[in-house]
Structure 1
Amino acid sequence: MKSIVFDGWHDWEAARAQLAVLAPSISLARLDAAVDMARSFHGDQKRPAGEPYMEHLLEALEILVSGAGVHDEDVLVAAVLHDIVEDTACTSNEVEARFGERVAGLVAWVTKPATGPDEHAAEVRDRYLLGLHSAPRDAVILKLADRLSNVQRLDTHPRPAKRRSYYRETCEHFLPLSEGVPWFEEAFGTWRESYRHLE
């Protein structure tokens, strides 16, 4: 069975229209503010295959709402902002000032720490991935949506070696992380079958 690709929300206007139908209880004004902040900080950043970075943020949002059925407003705001501290000049304090302590905390859980002068990047990454296993459930759900967006079209990554290493890392860390989170457990299981050629 082929895994589902979530890429229907290419722009905020399309996403906003779907959110109004699928999650009518959430504050679209608050998400408007999150999208504005993400656009401001991410600017013209691109993904490895060349797509605008905002598409990744909207994919994570689409996965949460359309796939996993998440309607928790803080989690959805955090989805839009999940890379803003790791990949831009924005600080956690700025996120907290605009969206509150819970959103800032969720973003902090999924933010990979910077590598110190006496550290190896691989060790920092491994420590971060292992730490996710003790994260609160909402942070785990957020990170699973982020990863599923990153790997749902893995064959389009421009570097074949990265495709294989990302596949191995996802199987090693994210499939176990998805256990007990029913929708994600099934989604990652199907994804693994679709990409077994990378083993």
Structure 2
Amino acid sequence: MESTTTPKLGDEFAEAMSYAAKLHATQTRKGGDIPYFGHLMSVSALVIEAGGSQTQAIAGLLHDAVEDQGGKPTLDEIESRFGSAVAKIVSECSDTDEVPKPPWRDRKERYIVHLRGASDDAVVVSLADKVDNARAILRDLRLHGDRLWQRFNVKDPEQHLWYYRSLLAVFEERTDSWLVDELRYTVEQIAALVAGPTVGP
């Protein structure tokens, strides 16, 4: 372990952790009782491990706040507390700020198009988010099999594979981060499990 004379993550990051924990306090991961905050910490950690800035790491903690916790008013509060740079990334990472949310396929198609022109900062955070989500799907698919898909509003695994493959194509164009390789590997593993065991000759 090495150390620096200047902290890489300051008080604002600690404040964002506390704010995110309170904002998502009653939220759990789909199909279980795991606190949703664990996902937010994982996304922020991936951003940091990929060389991201404090601004990006804070946005990683808050990337789902607009979608899940109040829409535009929450985005306004984030801007007031953490600044316009964080708010811009969070906004770009949200596939909707509408309450209630539009249909799943419509949101995902729009988000894929949006991501092609999103800022580099937003691409970093979005990529970390998708890596952590894909890892969770792979882990639970190994543990629970096809029952996993019943926890989603969209229960067809091919729809989820379409979404992740479409995202992967955009990320491959936008960044050379090692997280792209991680997403590709994870999606391939999910696809193999969805396809089922191959039958030999």
Please tell me the TM-score bracket, short chain as reference.
0.7 to 0.9
**Unaligned 5+ runs, structure 1:** 1-17
**Unaligned 5+ runs, structure 2:** 142-147, 196-201
1:21-32 to structure 2, matched below 5 A, reads: 25-32=7-14
The 2-side partners of 1:130 and 1:180 are apart by 13
**Which of the residues 92, 103, 115 maps onto 1:132?**
115
Query: What TM-score comes out, normalization by structure 1 length?
Result: 0.77
**Which of the residues 153, 156, 180 maps onto 1:185?**
180
**2:93 alignment counterpart:** 110
**Which of the residues 148, 154, 162 maps onto 1:168?**
162
1:1-199 to structure 2, matched below 5 A, reads: 25-50=7-32, 51-66=34-49, 68-70=50-52, 72-89=53-70, 91-114=74-97, 120-155=103-138, 156=140, 158-159=148-149, 161=155, 163-182=157-176, 183-197=178-192, 198=194
Structure 1 vs Structure 2: percent identity of aligned residues?
24
Compared with structure 1, are the counterparts of its residues 27 and 92 closer, same or farther at alpha carbon in structure 2 (3 Å cutoff)? same
4+ residue stretches of structure 1 with deviation over 3 A?
114-117, 160-164
| Larger of the two Rg values belongs to structure | 2
The 1-side partners of 2:81 and 2:97 are apart by 23
The 2-side partners of 1:45 and 1:167 are apart by 25
* Number of equivalences: 177
The 2-side partners of 1:120 and 1:192 are apart by 23
Larger relative contact order (C-alpha < 8 A, sep ≥ 6)? 1
